[in-house]
């Protein structure tokens, strides 16, 4: 809204507010059809399988020795990775005072919030018996014993809680002027809600000064937090004794992969929003060009880490490492997924350099 205006394109504050409020207030039949479809798809493709798992037991997932994690942890890491790039990218671009961030950072931060919520769901799904979540909490006694703290899932709970709280505050700080702009345009019960959320914002110079100061310090705080959180997620694998997983390079590998996948998710989200909300004059080809360069840099870093992982194992001639590598590269059912990953994450992005 007001913070997303682009004076370089001679777009006024009023135009920005009018265009954004149009997307919030006016809804078409297509919107409700899409909403019903998404709700139905989520109920059928996610709700029913989970309830069946609760009814039949977690054995239906095929999780057993030595595959204790399976697709649940993969999905958890995927959603956490997507969430990292939104807030992290927004914070970095804000500190570096990059002007083109204004059109994308709010959507990226909102994507972070909903991605973290989705990732948190998989912790309960992976428990098998989510009603026993109570017993993972500290026992109510004088010393507050936390007997189950050694579980990697509890590491994830702490990481998600810290990151989600910080992301919500970061998103809310930047949204205060926008909430005030909506407050001044709507009526009825919406006006009451936005009046509370806007915290009496009037847009004075003093308010802008304190908001920018708080936003800057929180951006500085959230960058190392995001890096540390995804490093903790990598410990789900790195702290195990499974060959090929207990590696010290997993923390930077996961952080780079998170920024890589999250940046790609931002590009995908921007494409959809640009067409669906008819905001082509705010999200331009220049934004996709800048994000494409970011994806190229992340592809280089991600490819480098993979080369290091393979090269060190071959050089050391470690049997466990080499067997794991060959299993991923030439044995079914994992070899097709491995080479598709290399093709889409390394070969195709780097081909644009030539």
Place of tokens 């509890």: 154
pLDDT band at 150 (very low <50, low <70, confident <90, very high): low
In the chain the domains, ranked by start, together with CATH numbers, are: 67-283 (1.20.1630)
**Is the per-residue pLDDT at 142 higher than 70?**
no
Coarse DSSP helix, strand, coil percentages of the chain, rounded to the nearest 5 percent? 80, 0, 20
pTM over 0.85: no
In this predicted structure, what is the pLDDT of residue 132? 75
How much is the mean pLDDT over the chain? Answer: 80
With 0-12 / 13-18 / 19 or more C-beta atoms within 10 angstroms meaning exposed / middle / buried, residue 53 is middle
How is residue 147 written in tokens? 């007997």
Q: For Cα atoms 280, 88, 248, give the angle at the middle one, nearest 5 degrees.
A: 135
The SS3 of residue 206 is helix
Question: Which phi and psi angles does 284 have, rounded to 5°?
Answer: -105, 180
CA–CA distance, 279 with 6 (Å, rounded to integer): 13
The SS3 of residue 67 is strand
The SS3 of residue 247 is coil
CA–CA distance, 20 with 182 (Å, rounded to integer): 9
What pLDDT, in 10s, does the model give residues 48-82?
888 888 888 777 777 766 666 677 777 888 888 88
């Amino acid at each position: 809204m007001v913070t997303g205006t682009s004076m370089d394109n001679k777009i006024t504050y009023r135009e920005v507010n009018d265009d954004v409020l149009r997307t919030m207030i006016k809804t078409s039949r297509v919107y409700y059809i899409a909403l019903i479809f998404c709700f139905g798809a989520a109920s059928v493709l996610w709700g029913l399988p989970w309830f069946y798992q609760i009814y039949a037991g977690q054995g239906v997932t095929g999780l057993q020795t030595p595959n204790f994690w399976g697709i649940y942890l993969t999905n958890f890491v995927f959603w956490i990775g997507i969430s990292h790039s939104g807030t992290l990218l927004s914070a970095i671009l804000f500190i570096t005072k990059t002007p083109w961030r204004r059109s994308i950072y709010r959507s990226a931060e909102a994507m972070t919030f909903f991605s973290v919520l989705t990732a948190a769901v998989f912790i309960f799904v992976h428990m098998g018996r989510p009603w026993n979540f109570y017993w993972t909490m500290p026992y109510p006694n004088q010393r507050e014993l936390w007997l189950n703290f050694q579980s990697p899932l509890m590491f994830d709970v702490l990481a998600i809680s810290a990151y989600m709280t910080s992301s919500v505050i970061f998103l809310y700080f930047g949204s205060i002027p926008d909430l005030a702009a909506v407050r001044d345009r709507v009526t009825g019960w919406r006006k009451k809600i936005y009046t509370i959320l806007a915290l009496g914002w009037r847009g004075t110079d003093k308010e802008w000064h304190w908001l920018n100061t708080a936003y800057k310090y929180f951006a500085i705080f959230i960058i190392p937090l995001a890096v540390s959180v995804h490093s903790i997620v990598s410990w789900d694998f790195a702290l195990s004794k499974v060959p090929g997983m207990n590696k010290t390079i997993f923390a930077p590998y996961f952080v780079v992969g998170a920024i890589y996948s999250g940046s790609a998710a931002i590009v995908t989200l921007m494409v959809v929003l640009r067409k669906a909300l008819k905001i082509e004059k705010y999200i331009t080809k220049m934004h996709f060009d800048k994000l494409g360069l970011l994806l190229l840099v992340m592809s280089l870093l991600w490819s480098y880490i993979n080369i290091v992982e393979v090269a060190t194992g071959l050089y050391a001639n470690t049997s466990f490492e080499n067997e794991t590598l060959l299993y991923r590269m030439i044995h079914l059912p994992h070899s097709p997924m491995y080479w598709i990953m290399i093709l889409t994450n390394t070969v195709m992005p780097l081909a644009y350099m030539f």
